[in-house]
Structure 1
Amino acid sequence: MDTFKLKVFRYDPTKDTEPYYKTYELPVEKGMTVLAALFRAKEEQDPTISFRYNCRAAICGSCAMRINGHATLACKVQITHLLDKYQTNTITVEPIGNVKTLKDLIYDMDWLVDKLKRVKPWFIPKEPPPPDGTEYRQDPYDHHRIDFASDCILCASCMSDCNALKANKNYLGPMVHSKAYRFIADTRDGEKKERFEAVLDDFNLEWCVRCMECTTRCPKEVQPYENIIRLRIMAAEAGYKTPGEIHAEIFEQDIYNRGLLNEMLLPMRQEGILGAIKRAPFGIKMMLKGKVNYADFFGGHKIKRLEEVQKIYEVAKQKEKEVKIRIPQIMGVIYEDKRKTRKRPNYAETGGNE
């Protein structure tokens, strides 16, 4: 293939009523990135194409855009790789998702800044600076808990493909939650309470739908989805009664008392009578589809051999005092920083237990 087609999203609010796409034919060159292709099209065919860029080294995050439907950094991906991956001769570039387009591939960043301000994404020390004038010290393991989250370059690729943010524009989003985690998990920081309140406000941590698109699209391996889960665990350990924590407690009680989850009474037990009324239409649909066991309205039945389940539960509760679950590497997710000589323990092998 000697040439390829670069299909660019175009929109100028000063003269266009609707966005459109314009295609430019360019030569295929070894090592050419999507950003380099945009420059080639701009310099040789259409000087009106508008896009953001800065470092051209996958550090600043300015050139994030959707390329063939998925958010990434235009300076990081190469044309030949994309043509081979998608088995096509066309590369389509658009602004990232969940944003307001200002012009062509340039989008409004004010909404991102406003969301970030709510979690104060900067270091606020809990102690005065060391008297000897050195930097704030931290144990290497404590730093391992935050080093991957510190790699976030605010490119918003994770925000682009976040399904929860598409449904609820007030949702803080994975990038903001990752920044909150980076400082809440920092042993040197002193504003954990205020940041916890920000991420827990308006059920923010509960809006995540676990699609993992944010982690899949992150060009810096920041693990946005995993950071949301870590924040949930840390909030529970800090004593915050989140909806997720309440849900887990009800689930635990049901399994111990009857061996089954009582889904019909769950909304009322978790959210009260108003919550049950709000979810009534959905409950009625479940009834009409035969998905409801009417006995659950009266407490439901117990499974056979419930005493065995209870015995397992009691042993597990006893072991809970002996086993320490370390939250930085839950779910077997491993992040090895190749820049460090001392590798982080492989929690996929140990199960995260000490």
Structure 2
Amino acid sequence: MKTTYDIELRIRRYDPDQDRTWVQSYRVEAGRIMRFVDLFRKINDEQDATLTWGSSCEHGQCGSCSVRVNGKPLLACELLVENAVASFKTTTFFIEPLPVAKVIRDLVIDTDQAYARVDQVKPYIITPKQPTAQNGAHQISPDELERYVDATRCINCFSCAAACISDHSTFLGPNAMLAAIVRVMDPREGEKRQRLDTIYNENGVYRCHSSQACTFVCPKGIDVAHFMAMAKQGAITVG
């Protein structure tokens, strides 16, 4: 078993002070189970302290380390060197920021700008619904619960939005639509009409081209395209 790899990372850089963009190459001797965030940190420590990238939890739960690797949106904290070599069949990787918001520096994007689309759908409970059960619980069938919980695993890493082929100027995006669909399915939400208006407005789910790219790249394994299709068919739970 190969234990180390000679990896070349070709990283798209951006310096806001000079408004300059370029691609810089780094060669790294990498262990097979090193993650790409480990490679970025190794570059910072040994070659270039100015390389800027994002991370927080580094356990695949916050989405802040999302980047595009050879064109595919991925979480850098989950991508192991040996898996990347096997998947892409190369030891050279082109790394760039997600194209869903303005680049602040190198691999870091303006997350406030990216989240603005999600904020439009109000991804929180607008009007709490009174529980129907005597014990104060909200009732939901096992099948509905399984479907609902699957949708809630979205971490808003924006990988799906980066892979989406629909026009971003007219479509709120798959993760924003999923956030709205989740609240329609949520038995605690009393405001369904506003949710449905958001899903079916001119920037809503009908702008989806059904390419299924969102499902293909989702790091949490959510079948995002399935929820888009359900919404198009009017098959989401509305209480």
TM-score norm. by structure 1 comes to 0.62
Distance 1:139 1:237 in 2: 11
Contact 1:64–1:155 under 8 Å retained in 2: yes
Contact 2:131–2:137 under 8 Å retained in 1: no
Is residue 2:14 matched to residue 1:11? Answer: yes
Question: What are the equivalent positions in structure 2 for 1:291-330 lying under 5 Å apart?
Answer: none
Amino acid at match of 1:70: K
Secondary structure in 2 matching 1:76: coil
> What is the aligned counterpart of 1:143 among 142, 145, 155?
145
> CA 1:83/1:181 → structure 2, altered by over 3 Å: closer, same or farther?
same
Aligned to 1:310: none
Aligned to 1:24: 26
Q: CA deviation at 1:233?
A: 2.0
Q: CA deviation at 1:110?
A: 2.3
Distance 1:236 1:91 in 2: 40
Distance 2:199 2:34 in 1: 40
Contact 2:67–2:96 under 8 Å retained in 1: yes
> CA 1:157/1:2 → structure 2, altered by over 3 Å: closer, same or farther?
closer
> What is the aligned counterpart of 1:48 among 47, 50, 53?
50
Q: CA deviation at 1:203?
A: 5.0
Q: CA deviation at 1:37?
A: 0.5
Secondary structure in 1 matching 2:27: strand
> CA 1:81/1:235 → structure 2, altered by over 3 Å: closer, same or farther?
closer
Unaligned runs of 5+ in 1: 239-354
Secondary structure in 1 matching 2:12: strand
Aligned to 2:97: 95
Aligned to 2:182: 182
Distance 1:45 1:237 in 2: 53
Amino acid at match of 1:7: R
Contact 1:8–1:21 under 8 Å retained in 2: yes
Amino acid at match of 2:14: Y
Amino acid at match of 1:126: K
Q: CA deviation at 1:57?
A: 0.8
Question: What are the equivalent positions in structure 2 for 1:1-354 lying under 5 Å apart?
Answer: 2-17=5-20, 19-123=21-125, 124-127=127-130, 136-164=138-166, 167-202=167-202, 204-234=204-234
1:41-97, Cα deviation, whole Å (9 max, x unpaired)? 111110111111011111111101101110010011111221222222212211012
Q: CA deviation at 1:237?
A: 9.2
TM-score norm. by structure 2 comes to 0.89
Distance 2:182 2:73 in 1: 23
Q: How many pairs were matched up? A: 234
If asked which structure has higher relative contact order (CA below 8 Å, sep 6+), I would say 2
- Structure (1/2) with the larger strand percentage: 2
Amino acid at match of 1:125: P
Moved more, 153-162 or 136-145: 136-145
Contact 1:142–1:187 under 8 Å retained in 2: no
Q: CA deviation at 1:236?
A: 9.4
Secondary structure in 2 matching 1:11: strand
- The percent of aligned pairs where both chains have the same amino acid is 27
Q: CA deviation at 1:127?
A: 1.1
Distance 2:236 2:116 in 1: 26
Amino acid at match of 1:196: L
Secondary structure in 1 matching 2:123: coil
Distance 1:36 1:221 in 2: 23
Contact 2:164–2:213 under 8 Å retained in 1: yes
Moved more, 207-216 or 96-105: 96-105
Q: CA deviation at 1:152?
A: 0.2
Q: CA deviation at 1:128?
A: 5.7
Amino acid at match of 2:150: F
Secondary structure in 2 matching 1:92: strand
Distance 2:236 2:8 in 1: 51
Contact 1:28–1:80 under 8 Å retained in 2: no
Q: CA deviation at 1:28?
A: 2.3
